[in-house]
């Protein structure tokens, strides 16, 4: 090494802050660092295995792939080495000096919260989720040295840092570097010396990394022989009866980078026309990237146990929370990325795995409603994306769906339960959508439905405005928004047998309604008497055709709606304010109240008054008249 080839560089700002947090925060489970470094080493081995398909010379005289842990208790070091693909100088700088992930800032913000709360579990879980596993080494190391030589290269490089803002990169002589692969040397901090002890390392490997598809060996001290910690056998190739629940959990945590327990494990082998094995997990907690805009899945593709890619769409996007892998026996090992995207075989695998995941979710719903309820709470908003994306499986998805309703209390209800409770003469499944669950549950639109005991689905997820407007039905019953069109409740009897039927508008109220149409002019499409209101004076509804109120708001906000359709103002002809206003002789008062009623309906609908200044002026005029100071 010469001074001319030695280079010192600062970390990018986000990495520097991240390292500071890791070094100065105390996590109750720092063991996560070893799992992350072993996972990186296993990925490097799998990448070499794949590249060697077309370039077998990369394996040289060492075809066997392995991960080796070497401890030196006296020197206080721990080394994690692999004979995988290795890194060039530029790859080393890119991989270890920057975080090229859009989630970096979000990760730092969340880990800062975990730091403030002293949450070791949250901190460890975040490290795995955000793909910054290498940096977790600084939780236990005062200094980290990385020596790497890319397979087939005659150059080797040393990356070194103490995690305090800078790192250096320099060439090393080949005699001091591995024949290929990467060697990560951790100079352990004073409070982390136990990570050079055999029993500690064996425990962590067994708990967290015992099922990586690369053998792991351990050298207890310099000069000792290597002992096997794991044989690198692929868990998914074993029979289900031979695998314990804990082994499944350990593997899930390894492949998903999370610390929760899986809510559902799907493991099966398809035989016949296409042969493949799938091992998939529904997480017990939401992954951090659940609502990423690109909506990419996280299922790895293997061919005959050789890792190919984690970028193949093996599940539809509405199942992107599922973690796991598919191992095909039929695809060629040198399958190209283009072939992956267009392969009919991959299409068949995608169909088979999707159907199995959905059928196992349905089985869970039948056998353990509480467990499925937690799955739906975490992922229901995503699964419902399939209701407008996946026409073929809509019936399956509708059967899976669970909803908060006006009759569900704190729980949820299935559509099967809803249909079983239909009222006499009820011909539709009624819904109300909005962005605030508490507000829509108290919407005046529901009054007439409650009076008749009609259950209404309360749809508060953003996706609900889309799928419910796509013309779906369930068992022949269409979905119908209570905020659109006329309610048509006259044929459904009231719960209170002694309650009077819907009040017909008196001649005075009818005249008032006609006058309000003229007063409100272009602000509304119509003003009419309502049969859905029992307690409130007014509400706004959409017309029979086109989108309902919530979907219209989404379209307008996204710029996909040229101009919003004018709403219809419905008036409760029996309300005291309406009957009182109908008999009021002062024209100016009637005009002010008519506009205030419209703005009140807007507020109840989650909107603002049409003209805040005019709203205030009208309100003050009415209060002044009421106080007799006019």
Spatial distance between the Cα atoms of 62 and 152, rounded to a whole number of angstroms: 12
In this structure, are 216 and 259 located in the same domain?
A: no
Per the domain annotation, does 426 fall within a domain?
no
Domain end position, chosen among 211, 230, 249:
230
Per the domain annotation, does 572 fall within a domain?
yes
**Residue 584: HSE in the Cβ half-sphere, 13 Å Cα cutoff:** 17
Spatial distance between the Cα atoms of 242 and 211, rounded to a whole number of angstroms: 14
Rounded percentage of the chain residues whose pLDDT exceeds 90? 51
Is the CA virtual torsion 419, 422, 426, 432 positive or negative?
A: negative
Per the domain annotation, does 486 fall within a domain?
no
Q: What is the mean pLDDT of residues 547-567?
A: 70
Task: Please give the pLDDT value at position 485.
Answer: 84
> Is residue 81 predicted with pLDDT exceeding 90?
yes
Q: What is the CATH number of the domain that holds 354?
A: 3.30.230.80
In this structure, are 245 and 214 located in the same domain?
A: no
Round the average pLDDT of the chain to a whole number and report it: 85
Place of tokens 């779906």: 472
Spatial distance between the Cα atoms of 480 and 432, rounded to a whole number of angstroms: 8
Per the domain annotation, does 401 fall within a domain?
no
Reading the block at residue 279, the tokens are 């091992």
Per the domain annotation, does 267 fall within a domain?
yes
Task: Please give the pLDDT value at position 556.
Answer: 66
3-state secondary structure of 294: coil
Query: For 337-396, how does the pLDDT look when each residue is reduced to its tens digit (9 = 90+)?
Result: 566 767 888 899 999 999 999 999 999 999 999 999 999 999 999 999 999 899 999 999
> Is residue 38 predicted with pLDDT exceeding 50?
yes
> Is residue 53 predicted with pLDDT exceeding 70?
yes
Q: Whose CA is closest to 580, among 623, 531, 537, 541?
A: 537
Per the domain annotation, does 381 fall within a domain?
no
> Is residue 317 predicted with pLDDT exceeding 90?
yes
Measured in whole angstroms, the distance separating CA 629 from the mean position of its chain's CA atoms is 58
Q: What is the mean pLDDT of residues 41-54?
A: 88
Reading the block at residue 300, the tokens are 């790895």
> Is residue 585 predicted with pLDDT exceeding 80?
no
Domain end position, chosen among 207, 230, 253:
230
Query: For 196-215, how does the pLDDT look when each residue is reduced to its tens digit (9 = 90+)?
Result: 999 999 988 877 777 778 99
In this structure, are 222 and 322 located in the same domain?
A: no
In this structure, are 215 and 242 located in the same domain?
A: no
Q: What is the mean pLDDT of residues 555-569?
A: 71
Query: For 84-127, how does the pLDDT look when each residue is reduced to its tens digit (9 = 90+)?
Result: 999 999 998 888 876 534 344 454 455 555 555 554 444 444 44
Query: For 215-251, how does the pLDDT look when each residue is reduced to its tens digit (9 = 90+)?
Result: 999 999 888 899 998 888 888 988 999 999 998 998 8
Q: What is the CATH number of the domain that holds 518?
A: 1.20.120.790
Q: Are 133 and 17 in contact (CB under 8 A)?
A: no
Q: Whose CA is closest to 532, among 506, 477, 569?
A: 569
Reading the block at residue 278, the tokens are 């799938």
In this structure, are 89 and 57 located in the same domain?
A: yes
CB within 8 A of 618, min separation 6: which ones? 592, 595, 596
> Is residue 503 predicted with pLDDT exceeding 80?
no
pTM of the model: 0.71
Domain end position, chosen among 342, 373, 404:
373
Q: Are 421 and 492 in contact (CB under 8 A)?
A: no
Looking at the 3D structure of the chain, how many domains does it have?
Answer: 3
Q: Whose CA is closest to 209, among 264, 268, 252?
A: 252
Report residue 28's pLDDT band, with 50, 70 and 90 as the boundaries. Answer: very low
The region, left, alpha or beta by phi > 0 then psi within -120 to 50, assigned to residue 257 is left
In this structure, are 73 and 217 located in the same domain?
A: yes
**Residue 285: HSE in the Cβ half-sphere, 13 Å Cα cutoff:** 15
What are the beta bridge partners of residue 569?
527, 540
Q: Say how many residues make up the chain.
A: 630
Spatial distance between the Cα atoms of 59 and 249, rounded to a whole number of angstroms: 33
Per the domain annotation, does 200 fall within a domain?
yes
Task: Please give the pLDDT value at position 109.
Answer: 58
What are the beta bridge partners of residue 7?
169
> Is residue 296 predicted with pLDDT exceeding 90?
no
In this structure, are 63 and 208 located in the same domain?
A: yes
Task: Please give the pLDDT value at position 127.
Answer: 40
Per the domain annotation, does 142 fall within a domain?
yes
What are the beta bridge partners of residue 166?
10
Reading the block at residue 546, the tokens are 């086109």
Spatial distance between the Cα atoms of 241 and 243, rounded to a whole number of angstroms: 6
Angle at 460 between CA 459 and CA 463, to 5 degrees: 85
| Distances in whole angstroms, Cα of residue 245 to Cα of each of 106, 262, 323, 342 | 33, 10, 16, 36
CB within 8 A of 170, min separation 6: which ones? 1, 5, 6, 7, 157, 158, 160
> Is residue 402 predicted with pLDDT exceeding 70?
yes
In this structure, are 215 and 256 located in the same domain?
A: no
Task: Please give the pLDDT value at position 205.
Answer: 87
In this structure, are 211 and 244 located in the same domain?
A: no
Full residue range of the structural domain in which residue 159 is found:
7-230
Q: Whose CA is closest to 170, among 181, 180, 155?
A: 155
In this structure, are 112 and 58 located in the same domain?
A: yes
Q: What is the CATH number of the domain that holds 80?
A: 3.30.565.10
Task: Please give the pLDDT value at position 272.
Answer: 82
In this structure, are 217 and 247 located in the same domain?
A: no
Query: For 460-497, how does the pLDDT look when each residue is reduced to its tens digit (9 = 90+)?
Result: 998 998 898 888 899 999 999 999 888 788 888 888 87
In this structure, are 262 and 278 located in the same domain?
A: yes
């Amino acid at each position: 090494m010469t001074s001319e080839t030695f280079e010192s560089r600062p970390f990018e700002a986000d990495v520097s802050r991240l390292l500071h947090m890791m070094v100065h925060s105390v996590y109750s489970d720092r063991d996560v660092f070893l799992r992350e470094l072993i996972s990186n080493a296993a990925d490097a081995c799998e990448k070499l295995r794949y590249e060697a398909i077309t370039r077998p010379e990369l394996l040289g005289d060492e075809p066997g792939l392995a991960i080796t842990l070497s401890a030196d208790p006296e020197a206080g070091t721990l080394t994690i080495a692999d004979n995988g693909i290795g890194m060039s100088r530029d790859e080393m700088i890119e991989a270890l000096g920057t975080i090229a992930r859009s989630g970096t800032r979000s990760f730092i913000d969340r880990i800062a919260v975990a730091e403030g709360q002293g949450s070791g579990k949250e901190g460890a879980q975040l490290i795995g989720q955000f793909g910054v596993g290498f940096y977790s080494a600084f939780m236990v190391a005062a200094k980290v040295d990385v020596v790497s030589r890319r397979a087939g290269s005659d150059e080797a490089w040393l990356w070194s840092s103490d995690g305090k803002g800078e790192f250096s990169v320099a060439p090393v002589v080949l005699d001091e570097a591995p024949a290929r692969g990467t060697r990560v040397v951790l100079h352990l901090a004073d409070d982390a010396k136990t990570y050079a002890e055999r029993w500690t390392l064996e425990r962590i490997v067994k708990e967290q990394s015992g099922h990586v598809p690369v053998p792991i060996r351990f050298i207890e001290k310099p000069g000792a022989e290597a002992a096997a910690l794991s044989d690198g056998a692929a868990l998914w190739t074993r029979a289900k009866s031979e695998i314990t629940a804990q082994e499944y959990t350990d593997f899930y945590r390894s492949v998903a980078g999370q610390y929760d327990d899986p809510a559902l494990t799907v493991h099966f082998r398809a035989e016949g026309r296409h042969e493949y094995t799938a091992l998939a997990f529904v997480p017990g907690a939401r992954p951090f990237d659940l609502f990423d805009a690109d909506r990419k899945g996280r299922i790895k593709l293997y061919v005959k146990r050789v890792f190919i890619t984690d970028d193949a769409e093996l599940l539809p996007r509405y199942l992107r929370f599922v973690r796991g892998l598919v191992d095909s026996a039929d695809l060629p090992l040198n399958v190209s990325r283009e072939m992956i995207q267009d392969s009919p075989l991959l299409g068949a695998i995608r169909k088979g795995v999707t159907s199995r995941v959905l059928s196992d979710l349905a089985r869970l719903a039948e056998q353990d409603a509480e467990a499925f309820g937690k799955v739906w709470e975490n992922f229901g908003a995503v699964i419902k994306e399939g209701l407008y994306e996946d026409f073929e499986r809509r019936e399956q998805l509708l059967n899976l769906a669970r909803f908060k309703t006006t009759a569900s209390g704190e729980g949820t209800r299935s559509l099967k339960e809803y249909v079983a409770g239909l009222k006499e003469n009820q011909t539709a499944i009624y819904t109300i959508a909005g962005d605030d669950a508490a507000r829509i549950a108290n919407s005046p639109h529901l009054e007439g439905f409650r009076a008749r005991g009609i259950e209404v689905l309360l749809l508060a997820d953003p996706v609900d405005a889309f799928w419910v407007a796509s013309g779906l039905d369930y068992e022949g019953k269409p979905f119908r928004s209570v905020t659109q069109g006329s309610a048509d409740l006259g044929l459904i009897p009231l719960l209170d047998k002694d309650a009077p039927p819907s009040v017909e508008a008196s001649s005075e109220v009818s005249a008032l309604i006609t006058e309000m149409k003229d007063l409100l002019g272009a602000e509304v499409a119509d003003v009419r008497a309502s049969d859905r209101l029992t307690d409130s004076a007014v509400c706004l509804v959409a017309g029979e055709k086109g989108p309902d109120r919530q979907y219209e708001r989404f379209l307008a906000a996204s710029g996909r709606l040229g101009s919003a359709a004018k709403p219809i103002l419905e008036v409760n002809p029996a309300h005291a304010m309406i009957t009182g206003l109908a008999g009021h002789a002062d024209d100016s008062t009637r005009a002010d109240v008519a506009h205030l009623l419209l703005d009140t309906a807007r507020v109840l609908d989650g909107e603002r008054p049409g003209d805040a200044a005019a709203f205030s002026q009208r309100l003050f005029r009415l209060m002044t008249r009421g106080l007799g100071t006019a």
